[in-house]
Amino acid sequence: MPRPGVSRAQDQINILLKFPLEQQVGSDTVAALNSTDRHVRREALRHIEAREPDYQPHGEDIVRRVCGRIGAKASSPAVASEESGVHFISVDDLDPGVGPPEGVPIYNPYTGVLSVYPESTLTAEEAVLSIQEAVANDDAVEGTEPVAIYRAIAALDPTLEAEPETAVSGIERDFRSDDALWARAALQVTTAGEMVPWGLEQIGALGAWRRGYSGQGITVAVVDTGIGPHVDIATPVRGATFVPGSTSYNDDHGHGTHVAGTIAARRGNGIGVAGIAPSARLLAVKVLARDGYSRGDSVAHGVTWAANNGARVINLSLGSPEASDSMRRAVVYARSRNVIICAAAGNDYGGPVSYPAAFDDTCLAVAATDQSNRRATFSNRGPQLDISAPGVMIRSTHLANSYRELNGTSMATPHVAGVCAIVLSQHPEMLPLALQRHLEATAMPLGAPDQYGRGLVNAERAISVAVRTASPVILPAPANADADADSAIRPGSASAGKRQRSNR
């Protein structure tokens, strides 16, 4: 039954069709991502990233047939308002400025997922059974799943919010005054008059700036509650909303704006805070509603949209205790588009790593630390952890040109996303797995891997230590050379050219 006060879109049922990516790189390669052997998983990712197929979305005829089966054999699910029961909308046909309509099936050609909705008189369980019966003998269908709901980690948990909370009206407050909260949240004032949150110094961001790298030329997607207009954040280069009923990507919660500021708040404007990668560009992708919850399959749609609209880094400060095949397909597709995904480990006080961060190693799973480089008490733990970053008393931008301190792995994750942008500004052709390995190799060890991953991310070390020659970086090659397809892609090839166009 739907949760009280929440849209029935959360009772959405996904029909999992044959994954289009498997048709490009092979089902064995995609299946290897579930191997218990980390080396096998990483080799599969390396193959997917380096291959970067010339993706040709298709499958509309199959979708129409599946819709017809549901309409004829399981008429109780509201597949569409039309009597034919074969109407659906492709995710590519959605207006990015307006949330998708509720109750109309949506097909995502990049993940092979068709999302349908039960009638209001049915429970989600009854709808799943009827849909399963309708598609049981269809060779194009792999299975069905109720949608997993993703919550913006730390956004709704009052125990994780810094106390006492200091209300800041606009930008009129003198942030250079002797303020107790600022003393805990910042270490210094820049020559321009901005405050530098303590996390930036802790991870070596200022050292990376001094060496000339601040994320220039790199686009980071904030897949969250949106990004609100803020004097300390540059206007996103573009944006989209996948929340039904919304009319823009503007943030009406505050979580996404806080994340965006940690990544790319302006530097040198003399106010507020500085972000880790202040020269990076932002994509605003709204997938979480005002209450911090997703509607239907919005997170997966947002990830594929970001991957198709120039993102090199995706920040996912959200999570769920339950795995979702639809979400897993989305992050694998994004990796095929040369996108690295940073995801929050979760705030269940040592509980298992949340999904999608737990999709090892498809996402870079981030734990939270405090100013003494100890694991934050709320931070989840597990073998899927990859790296740690500051997540306690993090000062950043908030709604209505304000600033706020928040705690959580949601706040740690954008620290890592910002460092990814910094490294990519130095090595713009680096593939995601190479970048992940490099961040792990240059991190400062802190303790047990199931609590800290490989340690605290460090931007200065990451740009000053040479990338290992064995890492899969796209390098120039002679025209007739036979380069290993799993380790390099030659500029000028069809796939390399496509990447360059997609990252503008």
- What confidence score (pLDDT) does residue 125 get? 77
Q: How far apart are CA 211 and CA 336, in angstroms?
A: 31
| pLDDT tens-digit readout, 94-147 | 999 999 987 788 999 999 999 987 776 777 778 788 888 989 989 999 999 988
Let me know: does 320 contact 149? Beta carbons within 8 Å. yes
The full set of domains in the chain, from first to last, is 8-146 (no CATH), 158-464 (3.40.50.200)
**Sign of the four-CA dihedral 391, 393, 394, 400:** positive
Q: Are strands 313-316 and 238-241 parallel, antiparallel or unpaired?
A: unpaired
Residues forming a β-bridge with 220 = 282, 313
- In this prediction, residues 11-40 reach a mean pLDDT of 90
Q: How far apart are CA 267 and CA 185, in angstroms?
A: 17
The owner of tokens 């997917």 is 48
Which residues, other chains included, contact 501 with Cβ-Cβ below 8 Å and sequence gap of 6+? none
280, 503, 306, 25: CA torsion to nearest 10 = -140
154, 159, 162, 168: CA torsion to nearest 10 = 80
Q: How far apart are CA 356 and CA 263, in angstroms?
A: 20
- In this prediction, residues 171-184 reach a mean pLDDT of 46
| pLDDT tens-digit readout, 430-464 | 999 999 999 999 999 999 999 999 999 999 999 99
Ranges of H-type helices in 337-394: none
Peptide bond into 325 cis (omega under 30): no
Q: How far apart are CA 504 and CA 494, in angstroms?
A: 16
* pLDDT at 178 > cutoff 50: no
Confidence of residue 493 (pLDDT cuts 50, 70, 90): very low
| pLDDT tens-digit readout, 224-235 | 999 999 999 999
- What confidence score (pLDDT) does residue 179 get? 52
* pLDDT at 422 > cutoff 80: yes
| pLDDT tens-digit readout, 292-333 | 988 889 999 999 999 999 999 999 999 999 999 999 999 999
Q: How far apart are CA 92 and CA 106, in angstroms?
A: 10
End-to-end CA distance of the chain: 44
* pLDDT at 481 > cutoff 50: no
Active site positions, annotated: 224, 255, 410
The owner of tokens 């099936």 is 105
The share of the chain scoring above pLDDT 70, in percent, equals 81
| DSSP letter for each residue of 213-270 | -S-TT-EEEEEES-----TTBPPPSEEEE-STT--SS--SSSHHHHHHHHHHB-SSSS
The owner of tokens 């194009």 is 140
- What confidence score (pLDDT) does residue 53 get? 73
- In this prediction, residues 26-51 reach a mean pLDDT of 92
Residue 113's SS3 state is: strand
| pLDDT tens-digit readout, 267-291 | 999 899 999 999 999 999 999 999 8
